[in-house]
Amino acid sequence: MQFNTRTCASALALFAFSFATAHAAPGADSAYNTDAQSSHVQDATSDGIGQVNMIACIMAAMRPDALVNEGNYIALVDESKCEPAGKSSSGGGDGAQAANFMTAVVNASRASNDDPMISKIWILQQEEGHQTNIDVHVSATAGPTETNPYGSFRLDFCGEGETAGICRMNGYLEGSDTGIRYFQTETRDDGNGVETQTTALQLNATGTTAGSGRLQTDSQGGTDAFDFAYNATLFRRSDGVDDQCFSRDASDADTGLSVWRYGLYDATSGARITRNSGFPIEFTTGGQTYHGYLGYYGLSLPPNAFNALASGSTVQKVNYSGGTATTADFTVIKAAGKLMKFTRQARKLNAMDGIKFTTFIGNNAAGFFNGAAPNTQYEMYWDDADGVFKVTGQMVCDQNGCQTTALGAVQSVGASFWQTQGGVQGWSQSLGGELFIALAGSGDTLDSGAIDVAYRTQDLVYPSDLPATLYCVRDCPTNASLASYFAQGSQDNAPFAGITANNFAPTAQADVVTYHTDSDAALLLDGANQPVVFTDPQAFGSRPQYQWGGVRSGRLFTTLAGAECDVGSNTYCDWKTNDLDVYYQWETGANNFSQFAAVKDSNGEFVAFDAPLQVTFTVPSGPAFGAYTGQSLVLQYGGFGDLWGIPGHCVSRVTNLEAPCNDESSRYVAAFAIPFDAELGRVSDGANTYLVKWLDREIRFASKPLSQCTAANLNLPTGLTLPTAADLKNPSASSSDIYIGVKPDITDAPRVIQGEVKY
């Protein structure tokens, strides 16, 4: 018996869930039909054990079960793939899709078939510029069975603080034939003082069909607890105030399904569709070798290695072939910003009926709708039946970031509101990003089948392809404007120069901002010949609207004539750039995905990565797809497991029902799941048709009247004894019986990358 660490992760969902995989064309032995699918239950009780859920997910991606008794090895794990709330099929933007690889050293051993499998794992976690060492010890003695669905194992972990061997985070998870026990204590400093929080779970279950338990979290803010019980068909949960009943039937029409990872497959052979999206690298500095990953969205390395890496540094690209790993030297080109190229695509307005997008309303908000706020971003959609735009939400930003707040009532706005601006400038996740609805010269009554909607595919621009000169009339940053805006105590309203902030007005040529580029340094230079970059993470922290995604310019264009408002006017309008086949955008920030990183081979040629593949998906009919039925959506495929662009909404963590996004108890999820069906689950890039298969999905139980649970005699437990700190062990302490020792110094190339054993 070998213990599969995936069992840990599924056990933490609390309630075992079974499903059958249908067989469909193209062939039973194809990857389309044989690639594994996994489901987990997401519930309010899941939030309390998020940390150990994440650790178990990370462990599964290290594959200790596949390399038992093969010594120490390095595994690279994309941490973002174990954080569904941060990256999903509904996510958008570079930040949401950028990989965040952590490095781990793993040793899995077993003395004999009668002995437990022991896994010792040393994880280097990097988060917001900080590094945390997490030591994990796992002992597994039995795999899952029908009567013991969790197997027999114990997982202990310690996340070290500033002092080696002292746990800032310490916990254990234990599975047996009687159920699950979990306890964790964590000390955190949120800037307002140090707080200690403990979480304890006791789940009593001897099979997959029935069980009960209690989850309790204690902190300085008080105690939060849930008692729960379940049988084959129902789940009951109470926090002492709200006693709720849910169905465990995934086919229930009210059950919520959201997918975190999809695969894309050839429609004929069923083979996986892969992308040249990146490769592992090694970088040596200060006598230490670091392992990382270079891809389309930038460079992932431990913070101290990333900071030491500069343009001209040498890294080793790791190549895998014939069951071995070899390395080759490459030269790094790195810059604190990057240029993106946007190429025009088009559809008609009636083809985006009901598709939501956001748009910014400037100073002239009076004619938008009564009570509209100026200089605010709104969520809206085109209602083809009524012939108007419907405004549904308003973007609100605070120190915790930005989120959409639903309006008290849906507002209607005629198309004529945007005529003077040439049309509606917006951003739509469902169309792959920026869009422009051309409304110049139209009134409120228009033929939606004749109105163009422009949207864009995007590509990273490599230094050799940088345009020599670029122009800008809206949101044009300079080195000086960035420094001024992010200076401590600054009263600037935006990080952009002069009149360009949110400038949609005709602009005189003297006020157009001109840039040049430096292809050797891969930089955009302003009129003062200074690089347009800013990377101070602490300064970004004071401006939450830019903290995650960095600062992005407005549209940059290569010829002034392309943006002239009217021929011969000698004035220039941002909206005119929507007629261009190509425009550009500059981005700079503290995160790696807001910066440029690439490598050159021995011939001085850049190694280019594939941009995400843009595909269209026609949403099937049915209640599961709601208002999106029949819509044609644009999705992006970045590589196996990474398909995104599905519209989303927020749901309550407590009721599982749709809820306002500004509710503290809500979370953002994909609004629907693409079905695993050879007919309904198809997408196309125009030239090729592909099949889609969900790989990891969450199930949110459908809410039912409490009377259903009480009628089924599903009673909440009483008198449960929760695990305590008395049973904690520290795998980082030399005095502990599970001490895993000092982290080995491994110089070999990674053997496992995100669950794939390379050699």
Q: Would you list the DSSP string of 86-142?
A: TS-TT--SHHHH---EEEEEEEEE-SSTTS-EEEEEEEEEEETTEEEEEEEEEEEEE
Q: Give the confidence band of 509 by pLDDT, cuts at 50, 70, 90.
A: very high
For 482, list phi and psi in degrees, rounded to 5: -65, -45
In this structure, the answer to whether residues 468 and 545 fall within a common structural domain is yes
Residue 227 is assigned to a structural domain of this protein:
yes
Q: 586 Cβ partners below 8 Å, 6+ apart? A: 337, 338, 339, 340, 477, 515, 524, 532, 552, 553, 556
Q: For the chain, what is the domain count?
A: 4
In this structure, the answer to whether residues 421 and 443 fall within a common structural domain is yes
Judged against a pLDDT cut of 70, whether residue 263 lies above it is answered with: yes
In terms of average pLDDT, the best of 165-179, 478-492, 535-549, 634-648 is 478-492
Calculate the alpha carbon distances from 186 to 169, 183, 226, 364, 416 in Å. Answer: 4, 10, 20, 50, 56
Q: What is the total residue count of the chain?
A: 759
In this structure, the answer to whether residues 139 and 285 fall within a common structural domain is no
pLDDT of residue 593: 87
CA 467, 472, 475, 479 torsion: positive or negative? positive
In this structure, the answer to whether residues 89 and 207 fall within a common structural domain is yes
In this structure, the answer to whether residues 51 and 172 fall within a common structural domain is yes
Number of Cβ atoms within 10 Å of the Cβ of 168: 18
Q: State the chain's maximal CA–CA distance in angstroms.
A: 87
Residue 12 is assigned to a structural domain of this protein:
yes
Residue 371 is assigned to a structural domain of this protein:
yes
Q: Mean pLDDT lowest for which of 97-106, 107-116, 387-396, 705-714?
A: 97-106
Judged against a pLDDT cut of 80, whether residue 74 lies above it is answered with: yes
pLDDT of residue 124: 84
Q: 331 Cβ partners below 8 Å, 6+ apart? A: 312, 313, 314, 599, 600
For 577, list phi and psi in degrees, rounded to 5: -65, -15
Amino acid at 29: D
Of 594, 626, 647, the last residue of a domain is: 594
User: CB burial class (10 A; 0-12, 13-18, 19+) of residue 568?
Assistant: exposed
CA 648, 650, 654, 656 torsion: positive or negative? negative
3-state SS string for 553-581: CCCEECCHHHHECCCCCCEECHHHHHHCC
**174's tokens:** 């234990």
Instruction: Find out whether 225 and 239 touch, Cβ atoms under 8 Å.
Output: yes
Pairing assessment for the beta strands 642-644 and 632-639 based on DSSP bridges: antiparallel
User: CB burial class (10 A; 0-12, 13-18, 19+) of residue 253?
Assistant: exposed
Q: 568 Cβ partners below 8 Å, 6+ apart? A: none
pLDDT of residue 8: 41
Residue 260 is assigned to a structural domain of this protein:
no
Residue 88 is assigned to a structural domain of this protein:
yes
User: CB burial class (10 A; 0-12, 13-18, 19+) of residue 187?
Assistant: middle
Residue 519 is assigned to a structural domain of this protein:
yes
Summarize the confidence of residues 556-573 as an average pLDDT.
Answer: 95
Q: Give the confidence band of 162 by pLDDT, cuts at 50, 70, 90.
A: low
Of 401, 436, 456, the last residue of a domain is: 456
Closest by CA to 84, choosing from 255, 256, 259, 250, is: 259
Of 440, 456, 472, the last residue of a domain is: 456
Three-state DSSP at 593 gives helix
pLDDT of residue 75: 94
In this structure, the answer to whether residues 211 and 86 fall within a common structural domain is yes
Summarize the confidence of residues 20-24 as an average pLDDT.
Answer: 41
Distance CA 12, CA 656 (A): 18
Distance CA 674, CA 624 (A): 10
Q: 42 Cβ partners below 8 Å, 6+ apart? A: 13, 258, 698, 699, 700
pLDDT in tens, 448-481: 999 999 988 888 999 999 999 999 999 999 999 9
Three-state DSSP at 176 gives strand
Judged against a pLDDT cut of 70, whether residue 130 lies above it is answered with: no
Residue 641 is assigned to a structural domain of this protein:
no
Q: Give the confidence band of 662 by pLDDT, cuts at 50, 70, 90.
A: confident
Residue 601 is assigned to a structural domain of this protein:
no
Instruction: Find out whether 424 and 575 touch, Cβ atoms under 8 Å.
Output: no
In this structure, the answer to whether residues 155 and 89 fall within a common structural domain is yes
Peptide bond into 26 cis (omega under 30): yes
In this structure, the answer to whether residues 97 and 240 fall within a common structural domain is yes
In this structure, the answer to whether residues 90 and 229 fall within a common structural domain is yes
Calculate the alpha carbon distances from 513 to 11, 323, 478, 573 in Å. Answer: 57, 54, 9, 13
In this structure, the answer to whether residues 425 and 554 fall within a common structural domain is no
In this structure, the answer to whether residues 171 and 69 fall within a common structural domain is yes
Owning domain of residue 408? 343-456
Average per-residue pLDDT for the chain: 88
Number of Cβ atoms within 10 Å of the Cβ of 731: 25
In this structure, the answer to whether residues 499 and 414 fall within a common structural domain is no
